[in-house]
Chain A
């Protein structure tokens, strides 16, 4: 398959180069909100939406900056867009579902500093994706992030019942599981290639 084809771009960002497990982007929410399955799914949805908006805006801003020859402002513009989108999502969730707003807690405003989102914007610019490719890429990345988060949440819900030594409880155990997941995701390499 052609590496520029839309199907490959989606598969690549969804499974092969999964944002969390291969690029280590978005580790904070991955470790922080992966305790419960329901919260993880919704967090994934919120992040996917912000990614989509960020990706579309990043494409527009990049073309604008190229035309006025001010590429050094790229990073600053991207982060401003992301921050304002997150603010918008935050207000929306607060209004629609106060319970979810409580469950996500501090991690909702922290989507601003979720590297996965800025990562999508930067990578698509670096690879010179077209408008359609950028959108597909952001959806793939969002779906991949949600997938990793949901798998981890499912595993951790089961692990709560298992007895593990005191010393490994918490982040160390989560990281070990993430390592095993990452190794198993390496099996997708070559898929569609």
Chain B
């Protein structure tokens, strides 16, 4: 693996994290991150769609005419999302019910279209796959952080294992919609402050 390819995998993990830095794909990050399991399931489904569509877009990059490329990408993504939807339904009905319409809404996750347009359509299969994997892992990292924060504070558990003593009074608000915004705002704050400290050190 050349240094440049490796770089395209590492960058989306932290420096160009799709959620924390580029603010892409916020809807699922806010909507289905009320528990660790849900957020992991969503992250994995997104990773699947991301990699499959990156592969197909990269393979077809010389076939798709420039004028209709966005429409073509959306169609490719929608196909894989439909597959993911049926797959999840087959594997676990419970997860399917928890995620609900948000599985279908992976289609409109701007992160996936952004990856297809900005990277996959210009690079060979291998490079596109590695980069998409990086973006997907960066996304899973972000949605996992959200799920962990919200479940620990809102329910007093981590992956359904209690973390506090029995006297802990859960902050129900963290599981409700408002808590999603608060948690993401807090995480962005933490992320920004770490970034600033790192920059100061570099200088």
Interface residues of A (CB under 8 A from B): 21-28, 31, 72, 75-76, 79-80, 83, 109-110, 112-115, 117-119, 122-123, 126, 167-168, 171-173, 175-176, 178-180, 182-183, 186
Among residues 2 to 28 in chain B, which have CB atoms less than 8 Å away from a CB atom of chain A? 23-24, 26-27
A180 to B184, CA, bound (A): 13
User: A115 with B105: in contact, given A27-B26, A175-B184, A179-B181 (CB under 8 Å)?
Assistant: yes
A72 pairs with B189, CB closer than 8 A: no
A123 to B100, CA, bound (A): 10
User: A75 with B104: in contact, given A171-B188, A175-B188, A178-B181 (CB under 8 Å)?
Assistant: yes
Among residues 161 to 200 in chain B, which have CB atoms less than 8 Å away from a CB atom of chain A? 173, 176-182, 184-185, 188-189, 192-193, 196
A118 pairs with B105, CB closer than 8 A: yes
A123 to B101, CA, bound (A): 7
A175 pairs with B192, CB closer than 8 A: no
B184 pairs with A23, CB closer than 8 A: no
> What 7 A-B pairs are tightest by C-beta distance, nearest first?
A179-B181, A175-B185, A183-B178, A182-B178, A24-B30, A24-B31, A172-B188
Q: Which of A83, A113, A117, A182 counts the most chain B CB atoms within 10 A? A: A113
Chain A residue at smallest Cβ distance from B79 = A76
A119 pairs with B178, CB closer than 8 A: no
| Chain B: interface residue total (CB-CB under 8 A) | 39
A27 to B86, CA, bound (A): 26
A172 in complex: contacting residue of B30, B85, B185, CB < 8 Å: B185
User: Which chain A positions have C-beta within 8 A of B70?
Assistant: 83, 109, 112
A180 pairs with B178, CB closer than 8 A: yes
Check if B113 is an interface residue, CB within 8 A of chain A.
yes
Interface residues of B (CB under 8 A from A): 23-24, 26-27, 30-31, 70-71, 74-75, 78-79, 81-82, 85-86, 101, 104-105, 107-110, 113, 173, 176-182, 184-185, 188-189, 192-193, 196
User: Which chain A positions have C-beta within 8 A of B107?
Assistant: 75, 79, 118
A122 pairs with B193, CB closer than 8 A: no
User: Which chain A positions have C-beta within 8 A of B78?
Assistant: 75-76, 79
A192 to B122, CA, bound (A): 53
29 intermolecular pairs with C-beta atoms under 8 Å apart: A24-B31, A28-B26, A28-B27, A28-B110, A72-B86, A75-B81, A75-B82, A75-B107, A76-B79, A79-B74, A80-B74, A83-B74, A112-B108, A113-B74, A115-B27, A115-B109, A118-B108, A122-B101, A167-B192, A171-B23, A172-B189, A172-B192, A175-B181, A175-B188, A176-B182, A178-B185, A179-B179, A183-B176, A186-B178
User: A115 with B182: in contact, given A76-B75, A79-B78, A186-B176 (CB under 8 Å)?
Assistant: no
B181 pairs with A182, CB closer than 8 A: yes
A112 pairs with B23, CB closer than 8 A: no
Q: Known pairs A28-B23, A31-B26, A118-B108; list 4 more (Cβ under 8 Å).
A: A113-B110, A122-B104, A175-B185, A186-B176
B108 pairs with A179, CB closer than 8 A: no
